[in-house]
């Protein structure tokens, strides 16, 4: 089966309010309750490797898939949260032992599963290839990934419709982004039924990750009208659905609404990448163990205040979501997070003022931070680290 072309086109960053823009996403999405039954058709008789979890629920899904698509050439089911580079290297080595390599990689699980599957698809059984690419010792031409099918079982990651994934190096205290046009999934099968009954904390964390993806695509140098339309619908969906779902975890209609919002958020940031909230979040997760969905969302009200007056797609999108000015939107979002038990004060996460200033400086230096349209001085003021505060801290 020929996969669609996957040229990654980002709009010009010369003028974020310019009418010159582009949008591209080649993923064939199959959405709806019961759509897991269509996975075997997407595999299409090809030899496949399956990346998933090893608990009883997922073993049941694997048995259902095997009955229709045959046994996979390889199952990797020891996926850890925040996939670490050392574990990924060991897992990749299993492909080299196969008599015949897979023709497609199937990811069945949450964001960590899909990110891991992207590493395996890019490595082609040789982790050294991915390692060199991640650490910029080799160029994009060295990566020729296997086709990928993504079946998310949480509503948040958006990885099922993007060409990037996250790789963590916990020993080195750094995080890498795996980004390549060939890593757009060939198919994304989004079945809300697979998400019913997920734990409350996981539901909230993944839902807030989706909200961050949507908002991050607005205050972004790569934003465009299509990404904004997806972002607005996604953010509205999360804001109206997540508090209800958090108290009604088996509600199929609410699960469907959250799955739709998360996929739309994925379409939004598939063309923009994330920005300053994610850049801030990575060291917070590495240093303080804050789950990713929380680490990338508790700063959102602060960031909204910092982009007041930026204009363009950022202001247009935020107005469409909140119907309020920046302060009003930030207050609304703070109250929304509080209802979910999420604090927006950095002290709550064990971060003192000195480290908070350091993290903000570091975030602007990162690749994702450079996507941010806002200024550092404005963000520092919104963070309570304006000139007066900085002098007091000093």
Last residue of a domain, one of 162, 192, 222: 192
pLDDT at 6: 39
Percent of the chain with pLDDT over 90: 90
Bridge partner list, 328: none
Last residue of a domain, one of 160, 192, 224: 192
Q: What is the pLDDT of residues 292-317, one digit of tens each?
A: 999 999 999 999 999 999 999 999 99
Report the alpha-carbon distance of residue 317 to residue 315 in Å, rounded. 5
User: pLDDT grade, residue 19 (50/70/90)?
Assistant: confident
Residue 394 is predicted with a pLDDT of 39
Q: In terms of domains, do 240 and 307 share one?
A: yes
What average pLDDT does the segment 117-133 reach?
A: 96
pTM: 0.92
* Within a domain: 179: yes
- Tell me: do 233 and 256 sit in the same domain: yes
Are both 205 and 151 inside the same structural domain? no
What's the pLDDT score for residue 387? 59
- Structural domain includes residue 4: no
Let me know whether 103 and 215 are in one domain: no
Kindly state whether residues 160 and 226 are assigned to the same domain: no
| Alpha-carbon span 269 to 163, nearest angstrom | 10
Spell 295-313 as b/e; 16+ CB within 10 A means b.
Answer: bbbbbbbbbbbbbbebebb
Helix (H, G, I), strand (E, B) or coil at 57: helix
Q: Is residue 103 part of a domain?
A: yes
The CATH number linked to 95 is: 3.40.50.1970
Which residues lie closer than 8 Å to 1 by C-beta, 6 or more apart? 44, 46, 147, 186
20 found inside a domain? no
Based on the fold, state whether residues 338 and 353 are members of the same structural domain: yes
Q: Are residues 105 and 236 in the same domain?
A: no
If asked whether residues 361 and 251 sit together in one domain, one would say yes
- How remote is the C-alpha of 46 from its chain's centroid? 28
For range 182-211, the mean pLDDT: 98
Mean pLDDT of the chain: 93
Asked whether residue 79 is assigned to any structural domain, the reply reads yes
Starting at the edge strand that comes first in sequence, how are the strands of the sheet with 48-51 ordered?
Answer: 28-31, 187-190, 148-152, 104-109, 48-51, 74-76
Q: Six-digit token pair at 226?
A: 């299509």
Does residue 268 share a domain with residue 243?
yes
14 pLDDT above the threshold of 90: no
52 and 150 in a common domain: yes
Residue 292: which CATH number? 1.20.1090.10
Residues 188 and 207 occupy one common structural domain: no
Residue with tokens 């659905």: 241
pLDDT at 144 over 90: yes
Counting every residue, how long is the chain?
Answer: 394
Point out which residues pair with 284 in neighbouring strands. Answer: none
The radius of gyration of the chain from alpha carbons, rounded to an integer in Å, stands at 20
For residue 142, report the phi and psi dihedrals to the nearest 5 degrees.
-80, -10
CA-CA distances (angstroms) from residue 87 to 129, 135, 174, 227, 283?
16, 17, 15, 34, 20
Gap between the Cα atoms of 232 and 254, Å rounded: 18
| pLDDT at residue 18, as a whole number | 52
Q: Evaluate whether residue 12 is within a structural domain.
A: no
Give every CB contact of residue 270 below 8 A, 6+ residues apart in sequence: 25, 158, 161, 162, 163, 184
Same domain, 231 and 337: yes
85: CB partners within 8 A, 6+ apart: 131, 134, 167, 168, 169, 176
Would 23 be classed as within a structural domain?
A: no
In a domain, 254, yes or no: yes
Contact 321, 229 (CB under 8 A): no
* Tokens representing residue 331 in the block: 């207050």
Q: What is the pLDDT of residues 228-258, one digit of tens each?
A: 999 999 999 999 999 999 999 999 999 999 9
Domain boundary among 154, 177, 192: 192
Q: Is the pLDDT of residue 223 over 70?
A: yes
| 334 within 8 A of 344, measured Cβ to Cβ | yes
- Cα four-point dihedral sign 169, 175, 181, 187: positive
Residue 192 pLDDT: 98
pLDDT above 80 (res 13)? no
Task: Give the residue numbers spanning the domain of 75.
Answer: 28-192
Candidate from 17-31, 298-312, 323-337, 370-384 with smallest mean pLDDT: 17-31
Residue 11: is its pLDDT beyond 90? no
Contact criterion met (CB below 8 Å) for 213 and 269 = yes
Query: What letter would DSSP give residue 155?
Result: S
Q: How many domains does the chain have?
A: 2
* pLDDT surpasses 90 at 7: no
Tell me how far CA of residue 201 lies from CA of 98, 158, 196, 237, in angstroms: 38, 18, 14, 19
């Amino acid at each position: 089966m020929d996969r669609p072309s996957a040229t990654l086109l980002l709009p010009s960053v010369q003028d974020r309010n310019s009418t010159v823009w582009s949008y591209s996403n080649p993923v064939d999405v199959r959405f709806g309750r019961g759509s897991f039954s269509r996975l075997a058709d997407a595999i299409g008789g090809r030899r496949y490797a399956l990346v998933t979890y090893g608990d009883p629920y997922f073993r049941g899904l694997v048995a259902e898939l095997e009955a229709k698509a045959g046994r996979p050439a390889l199952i990797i089911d020891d996926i850890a949260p925040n996939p670490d580079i050392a574990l990924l290297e060991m897992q990749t080595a299993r492909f080299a032992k196969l008599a015949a390599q897979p023709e497609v990689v199937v990811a069945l699980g949450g964001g960590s599963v899909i990110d891991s599957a992207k590493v395996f698809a890019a490595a082609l059984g040789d982790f050294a290839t991915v390692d060199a690419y991640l650490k910029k010792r080799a160029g994009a031409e060295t990566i020729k990934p296997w086709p990928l099918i993504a079946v998310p079982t949480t509503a948040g990651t958006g990885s099922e419709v993007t060409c990037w994934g996250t790789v963590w190096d916990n020993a080195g205290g750094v995080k890498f982004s795996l980004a390549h046009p060939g890593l757009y999934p060939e198919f994304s099968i989004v079945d809300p039924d697979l998400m019913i009954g997920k734990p409350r904390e996981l539901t909230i964390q993944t839902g807030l990750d989706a909200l961050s993806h949507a908002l991050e695509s607005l205050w972004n140098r790569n934003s465009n009208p299509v990404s904004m339309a997806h972002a607005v619908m996604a953010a509205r969906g999360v804001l109206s659905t997540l508090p209800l779902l958090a108290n009604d975890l088996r509600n199929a209609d609410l699960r469907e609404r959250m799955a739709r919002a998360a996929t739309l958020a994925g379409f939004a940031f598939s063309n923009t990448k994330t920005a300053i909230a994610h850049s801030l979040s990575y060291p917070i997760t590495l240093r303080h163990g804050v789950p990713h969905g929380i680490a990338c969302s508790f700063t959102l009200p602060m960031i909204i205040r910092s982009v007041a007056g930026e204009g363009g797609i950022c202001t247009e999108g935020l107005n469409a979501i909140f119907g309020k000015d920046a302060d009003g939107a930030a207050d609304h979002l703070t109250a929304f997070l509080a209802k979910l038990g999420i604090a927006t004060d950095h002290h709550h996460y064990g971060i003192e003022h000195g480290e908070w200033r350091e993290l903000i400086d570091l975030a602007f230096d990162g690749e994702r931070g450079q996507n941010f349209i806002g200024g550092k001085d404005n963000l520092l003021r919104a963070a309570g680290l304006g000139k007066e505060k900085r002098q007091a801290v000093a």
